Amino acid sequence: MTLLYHELADWWPLLSAPEDYEEDAEAYALILQDACDTPPRTVLELGSGGGNNASYLKERFALTLTDLSPAMLDVSRRLNPECEHVAGDMRTLRLGCEFDAVFVQDAIGYMVSEADLMACMQTAFVHCRGGGAALFVPDYTAEVFRSSTYHGGYDGEEGRSLRYLQWDHAPAGGGTSYAIDFAYLLQEPGVPMRVLHEQHLCGLFSVDTWYRLLKEVGFEPDSLTLETEELESGSYRVFVGYKRG
């Protein structure tokens, strides 16, 4: 249980604003459109969080948004009231229907073992129609991981402000996970500044592992490299699974 996606979920829009996602969301939409045999209309997002990507993707697709955290779904409902929201774990969710495409962005980072990652891919596979595709967007692959720090935050309404520091640590001994330490500074009227710290555990897999697991669940695997100004490396790898009809 992370503080960020539960007790602090209401602060999410001050840590990560929809505007930060506009450019990348456009790139994801184009990849999904190219990857499907006919233009996709229905899209399932796993780990949709505060719905920042969705706030752009919904202009093109009918979205079903799912997340483990009911508090994050509430944040997303406020931003995306026209989308369907469902609580569920991306490893075990079964909605009993298919979509033209499935999308998993940074939430895929919370899959810390091969078994977890494969379970999420399986969820994507069973919800994807033949001829459709799934897009997975991890923050890193093992080949490009570097210990890095980021900081940011926003001023909100009614005197609430948040600033954060994020420190991604190199994995010890080449395992399949790395740690993110977050420090949050929370300011609101009439309350002394609060400083909180927590650590998240995230998965780190090689490109070969991504391809192998996608194949094992039945997808035809592919990948693309996208440019970004956020990462020091200047680019990141995204994975597409084609479900042949």
Ligand X SMILES: C[S@@+](CC[C@H](N)C(=O)[O-])C[C@H]1O[C@@H](n2cnc3c(N)ncnc32)[C@H](O)[C@@H]1O
Which residues contact ligand X by CB under 6 A?
5, 21, 46-53, 67-69, 72, 89-91, 105-107, 110
Q: In the complex, what is the shortest distance from the CB of residue 164 to ligand X, in angstroms, rounded to a whole number?
A: 12
Token pair recorded at residue 220: 């035809």
State the burial class of residue 57 (Cβ atoms within 10 Å of its Cβ: 0-12, 13-18, 19+). buried
Q: Which residue number, 10 or 37, has a Cβ lying nearer to ligand X? A: 10
Q: In the complex, what is the shortest distance from the CB of residue 123 to ligand X, in angstroms, rounded to a whole number?
A: 9
How far apart CA 123 and CA 217 sit, in angstroms, is: 9
Q: Which residue number, 125 or 131, has a Cβ lying nearer to ligand X? A: 125
Element containing residue 217 per DSSP (H, E): helix 207-217
> 3: which DSSP letter?
S
Q: Which residue number, 5 or 205, has a Cβ lying nearer to ligand X? A: 5
Order of strands, sheet of 161-169, starting from the edge strand that comes earlier in the sequence = 148-152, 161-169, 177-188, 191-203
What is the 3-state composition of the chain as percent helix, strand, coil, each rounded to the nearest 5?
Answer: 30, 35, 35
Q: In the complex, what is the shortest distance from the CB of residue 245 to ligand X, in angstroms, rounded to a whole number?
A: 27
Q: In the complex, what is the shortest distance from the CB of residue 111 to ligand X, in angstroms, rounded to a whole number?
A: 7
Q: Give phi and psi for 27, each to the nearest 5.
A: -65, -40
Q: Which residue number, 16 or 141, has a Cβ lying nearer to ligand X? A: 16
Quote the distance between the C-alpha of residue 187 and its chain's center: 27
Tell me the residue number closest to ligand X, measured at CB.
Answer: 49
Q: In the complex, what is the shortest distance from the CB of residue 85 to ligand X, in angstroms, rounded to a whole number?
A: 12
Token pair recorded at residue 8: 């602090």
Q: Which residue number, 68 or 240, has a Cβ lying nearer to ligand X? A: 68
CB of 32 closer than 8 Å to CB of 135: yes
Q: In the complex, what is the shortest distance from the CB of residue 57 to ligand X, in angstroms, rounded to a whole number?
A: 9
CB of 236 closer than 8 Å to CB of 139: yes
Q: Which residue number, 86 or 191, has a Cβ lying nearer to ligand X? A: 86
